[in-house]
Amino acid sequence: MPAYNCSKYIESSIRSILKQSFRNFELLIINDGSTDNTENIIKKIQDNRIRYYFTEHQGTSAALNYGAGLCRYEWIARIDSDDLNTVNRLERQIKYIEENPEVDILSSWSVYFKDPAKVLFLLREPIYHNKINKYLDLHNPINQSSLLIRKSILAESKYDESFDAYEDFELMYRLREKYRIAIIPEFLVYTRLRKDSRTNTGSSDRLFEMLSTSAFKKMIESKSKGDHFYWAQVTAWLNYFYGSRKLARGYLKNSKSLKNFTAYCTTFLPDKYFIKFINSHFKYRIKAIIENKSRYKKELLGLLKN
């Protein structure tokens, strides 16, 4: 667990780990130079499975690389300091990798919420490697707060410390061809949506450069019309989400689908409102209207109790 100025949230996050039904683990907390009350909150929690380290502030990627090097076990589980894990997260994931030994990287489905305790939507990402691999052309389906990964992988392939955001996306994109990835179809993580999160405030320039360069190269090298069309489509959506909305319009305006027409219209919004629309996860919130969220609301309230 990397932590930086997260005193409002970290206690609930830590306790969601300490209450796991699977008990044989260590919890490494890397305080990345916090200047608020984060350290005092961590130190008041007494549990001999906690190993606490303070470092000068260098960013989440550096904290993750440092922490991964200190881990003693074969598997490393990740959680962000403002998210919550269900009590059976580790138990369910360990059972899954025991039954599927070919899997190297595992995540889960996610429940998204905002404070004080409002369930917003449920996110069901693709669960098999091939679909996950393809999904990574545009988005990262692997929730880092339910990530389980072999230690040997992080020893060989570290987080890129030049990324101030999306470092998890960059790493998963880099690893997808070499290792087997799966997502367990269970809701094992509650992800807190915050306006001040690094995903919302950090720069996507490096991510866009990486993804668009790869997509454009594959489009040029395409040997069929189908492949060329696919990569042209990916390039347009990469511009929509991370790059130039103006460039995305050229593709979107010629499409007859309602989805693309809606996206085309939103590209004319002022920056402030466009960013707000993107970060609202509008598509998933619409789907959530018909979901029965009462079970997840009850579970969330239990996890938020310290």
Lowest mean pLDDT among 136-150, 165-179, 250-264, 266-280: 250-264
For residue 298, tell me if it sits in a domain.
no
- Give the chain as a 3 state SS string: CEECCCCCCHHHHHHHHHCCCCCCCCEEEEEECCCCCHHHHHHCCCCCCEEEEEECCCCHHHHHHHHHHHCCCCEEECCCCCCEECCCHHHHHHHHHHHCCCCCEEEEEEEEEECCCEEEEEECCCCCHHHHHHHCCCCCCCCHHHCEEEHHHHHHCCCCCCCCCCHHHHHHHHHCCCCCEEEEEEEEEEEECCCCCHHHHCCCHHHHHHHHHHHHHHHHCCCCHHHHHHHHHHHHHHHHHHCCHHHHHHHHCCCCCHHHHHHHHHCCCCHHHHHHHHHCCHHHHHHHCCCCCHHHHHHHHHHHCC
Domain boundary, last residue among 193, 223, 253: 193
Query: 217 and 99: one domain?
Result: no
Q: Confidence class of residue 306 from pLDDT cuts 50, 70 and 90? A: low
Query: 171 and 127: one domain?
Result: yes
The total of structural domains in the chain comes to: 2
What is residue 269's predicted lDDT score, i.e. its pLDDT? 96
Query: 189 and 275: one domain?
Result: no
- What gap in Å lies between CA 24 and CA 33, rounded to an integer? 28
What is residue 196's predicted lDDT score, i.e. its pLDDT? 82
In the predicted model, what is the mean pLDDT of residues 147-172? 97
For residue 10, tell me if it sits in a domain.
yes
Q: What is the CATH number for 112?
A: 3.90.550.10
In the predicted model, what is the mean pLDDT of residues 267-277? 93
What is residue 186's predicted lDDT score, i.e. its pLDDT? 98
What is residue 195's predicted lDDT score, i.e. its pLDDT? 83
More confident residue, 200 or 173: 173
For residue 8, tell me if it sits in a domain.
yes
Query: 166 and 237: one domain?
Result: no
Domain boundary, last residue among 169, 193, 217: 193
Domain boundary, last residue among 193, 223, 251: 193
Query: 64 and 101: one domain?
Result: yes
Query: Tell me: the pLDDT tens digits for 197-252?
Result: 877 777 899 999 999 999 999 999 999 999 999 999 999 999 999 999 999 998 89
Provide the domain limits for residue 92: 2-193
For residue 138, tell me if it sits in a domain.
yes
Query: 168 and 213: one domain?
Result: no
For residue 56, tell me if it sits in a domain.
yes
Q: What is the mean pLDDT of the chain?
A: 95
Query: 161 and 48: one domain?
Result: yes
Query: 51 and 93: one domain?
Result: yes
What is residue 305's predicted lDDT score, i.e. its pLDDT? 87
Is 148 a residue whose pLDDT tops 70?
Answer: yes
For residue 182, tell me if it sits in a domain.
yes
Query: 98 and 211: one domain?
Result: no
For residue 275, tell me if it sits in a domain.
yes
Is 99 a residue whose pLDDT tops 90?
Answer: yes
Query: Tell me: the pLDDT tens digits for 2-60?
Result: 999 999 999 999 999 999 999 999 999 999 999 999 999 999 999 999 999 999 999 99
In the predicted model, what is the mean pLDDT of residues 155-177? 96
Query: 181 and 242: one domain?
Result: no
Query: 146 and 44: one domain?
Result: yes
What is residue 199's predicted lDDT score, i.e. its pLDDT? 74
Query: 17 and 52: one domain?
Result: yes
What is residue 263's predicted lDDT score, i.e. its pLDDT? 93
